[in-house]
Amino acid sequence: MIATSIKWSRHNLFAKPFDAVLSITVIPGVLWLVYQMFSWALTTAQWSIIPQSLRVLMIGVFPADQAWRTWIVVMIIGALVGGALGCVFRFRAYHAGIVAVAATLLAVSGGDLTNTVLVAATVGLSVAGWMLTSLLPITRNILMPATFTGLITIFAVMSPPGVELWGGLLLSVLITLVTSIVTLPIGIMLAFGRRSRLSSVRFICTAYIEVMRSVPLILVVYWIWIITPVLAPHWGLADVARGMIGFTVFYSAYVAEYVRSGLQAVPRGQTEAARSLGMSDFDINRDIVLPQAIRVVVPPLVGNVLDIFNAAPLVFIIGLTDFLRAGQMILANPQNGDRTYEVYSFLFLTYFVVGSLITFVARKLEAHLARGSR
């Protein structure tokens, strides 16, 4: 063990004189910074602001007496996420232990008995979805219809108190979930449209993609928010819906480019062979080209999901209270003016944990697809 550590350090940290100088300079500074951060977090920081403001951080200004609706939504999302995990990770015995520990920590942090039971129910549904798609692969065929049904149910459950009251981390997750799901089929159609033999279709798709990639997201969201009531005054779309439309319109162009790069990676000989067998262009694209293209573009598509989640705070421009905005609302209270570091540290850690989990699952998915292609 010690010999291996010494060999690794010599090879990676002190291989050359410049590497040695850089290591001697940087490593002590990093260790000092880590020590200072942990010292502040364990001795100076006043973390009581986080549990006191947890409801605002999680659901924004959503009415407290209607919080049961958000728990239903969280359970639906948990079941869908668990089902998606089952397509990548096979459920094993040691996973039950990990889930039990995580559920215990969440239950303890939940506080009262009601929250503990709700957290346990959410974790139980997630594990049930995970086990179902992992141990019964045939159930994966209903995952996509179940996802769209779940989204419809989420909107139906959350809408009665008022869509304008959605906020907090839940709003950021919903924006990410809806945008990521809706942009995939739209991006696929745009990618095929850009490769279409019809010049009019190809011109329209190319123009749309290039325009969306040439302007910032905040401008698209703002313009959709302004233009929608003018073009469709009788629809009465809420700000949340207009924000999601803006995100979808913008990120569909990026998904289209990712998918197009995957389409170009498919060998032309495969399409020519399929065409010689009498297959139609639709069947060729659906059964041969698209599955291989999706395998290639999994990393950029996951990166796109991370971009959507990290860009969700931009909805503040249309008056929505996302996760970051909820933290700023807490700090706007004069009583919490001296808790800036604590609140922003919690926001940073939450964004980091969510992003890390998405990246970890993406790597496992990429490895899973690579095994299936061999």
Asked if residue 246 belongs to a domain, the reply is yes
- Is residue 247 domain-shared with residue 149, that is, in the same domain? no
Can you tell me the mean pLDDT for 87-102? 70
Asked if residue 38 belongs to a domain, the reply is no
For residue 240, the tally of other CB atoms under 10 A from its CB is: 24
- Listed residues 107, 130, 161: the one ending a domain: 161
- Is residue 281 domain-shared with residue 365, that is, in the same domain? yes
pLDDT at residue 367, rounded to an integer: 73
- Is residue 216 domain-shared with residue 146, that is, in the same domain? no
pLDDT at residue 214, rounded to an integer: 92
Over the stretch 250-277, which tens digit does the pLDDT of each residue have?
999 999 999 998 888 888 888 778 888 8
- Is residue 247 domain-shared with residue 351, that is, in the same domain? yes
Instruction: Put residue 319 in one of left, alpha, beta given phi > 0 → left and psi -120 to 50 → alpha.
Output: left
- Listed residues 161, 185, 217: the one ending a domain: 161
Whole-number Å distance between alpha carbons of 255 and 150: 23
- Listed residues 140, 161, 182: the one ending a domain: 161
- Is residue 221 domain-shared with residue 74, that is, in the same domain? no
- Is residue 115 domain-shared with residue 101, that is, in the same domain? yes
- Which residue would you say has higher pLDDT here, 300 or 250? 250
Asked if residue 123 belongs to a domain, the reply is yes
- Is residue 191 domain-shared with residue 299, that is, in the same domain? yes
Mean pLDDT taken over the chain: 84
**Per-residue pLDDT band at 102 (split at 50, 70, 90):** low
Over the stretch 122-178, which tens digit does the pLDDT of each residue have?
888 888 888 888 888 888 888 888 888 888 899 899 888 888 888 889 999 999 999
Question: Is residue 293 pLDDT above 70, yes or no?
Answer: yes
**Per-residue pLDDT band at 105 (split at 50, 70, 90):** low
- Is residue 109 domain-shared with residue 144, that is, in the same domain? yes
- With tokens 């290591």, the residue in question is 23
Q: Which of 95, 216, 92, 167 is nearest to 328 (CA)?
A: 167
Asked if residue 70 belongs to a domain, the reply is yes
Asked if residue 35 belongs to a domain, the reply is no
Question: Is residue 33 pLDDT above 60, yes or no?
Answer: yes
**Residues 132 and 313 sit within 8 Å (Cβ to Cβ):** no
- Is residue 317 domain-shared with residue 201, that is, in the same domain? yes
- Is residue 210 domain-shared with residue 255, that is, in the same domain? yes
Burial letters 24-38, b for 16+ CB under 10 A, else e: eeeeeeeeeeeeeee
Which CA distances in Å does 54 have to 69, 283, 330, 372?
16, 50, 10, 42
300 CB-near residues (< 8 Å, 6+ apart) = 258, 261
Identity of the amino acid at 132:
L
**Per-residue pLDDT band at 108 (split at 50, 70, 90):** low
322: which strand partners? 168
Domain CATH code at residue 279: 1.10.3720.10
For residue 179, the tally of other CB atoms under 10 A from its CB is: 28
Question: Is residue 187 pLDDT above 90, yes or no?
Answer: yes
Whole-number Å distance between alpha carbons of 351 and 346: 9
23 CB-near residues (< 8 Å, 6+ apart) = 13, 14
Q: Which of 353, 322, 340, 352 is nearest to 46 (CA)?
A: 340
Asked if residue 352 belongs to a domain, the reply is yes
- Is residue 145 domain-shared with residue 279, that is, in the same domain? no
168: which strand partners? 322
**Residues 218 and 314 sit within 8 Å (Cβ to Cβ):** yes
**Per-residue pLDDT band at 215 (split at 50, 70, 90):** very high
Whole-number Å distance between alpha carbons of 355 and 303: 9
pLDDT at residue 244, rounded to an integer: 92
**Per-residue pLDDT band at 84 (split at 50, 70, 90):** confident
**Per-residue pLDDT band at 1 (split at 50, 70, 90):** low
Question: Is residue 208 pLDDT above 90, yes or no?
Answer: yes
Can you tell me the mean pLDDT for 176-195? 91
Over the stretch 304-336, which tens digit does the pLDDT of each residue have?
888 899 999 888 888 888 898 898 889 888 888
Whole-number Å distance between alpha carbons of 143 and 84: 8
Q: Which of 48, 76, 241, 68 is nearest to 163 (CA)?
A: 241
Tally of domains within the chain: 2
Element (H, E) at 263: helix 239-265
Domain, as residue range, for 125 = 63-161
Q: DSSP of 301-363, one letter per residue?
A: HHHHHHHHHHHGGGGGGGT-EEHHHHHHHHHHSGGGTT-HHHHHHHHHHHHHHHHHHHHHHHH
Asked if residue 30 belongs to a domain, the reply is no
- Is residue 103 domain-shared with residue 119, that is, in the same domain? yes
How many Å from the N-terminal Cα to the C-terminal Cα in the chain? 35
- Which residue would you say has higher pLDDT here, 278 or 36? 36
Q: Which of 139, 118, 134 is nearest to 75 (CA)?
A: 118
Number of helices and strands in the chain (H, E): 18, 2
The pair of structure tokens assigned to 245 is: 């439309």
pLDDT at residue 182, rounded to an integer: 92
Q: DSSP of 22-48, one letter per residue?
A: HHHHHHHHHHHHHHHHHHIIIII--TT
Q: DSSP of 211-261, one letter per residue?
A: HHHTS-HHHHHHHHHHHHHHH-TTT---HHHHHHHHHHHHHHHHHHHHHHH
Q: Which of 28, 23, 26 is nearest to 10 (CA)?
A: 23
Asked if residue 2 belongs to a domain, the reply is no
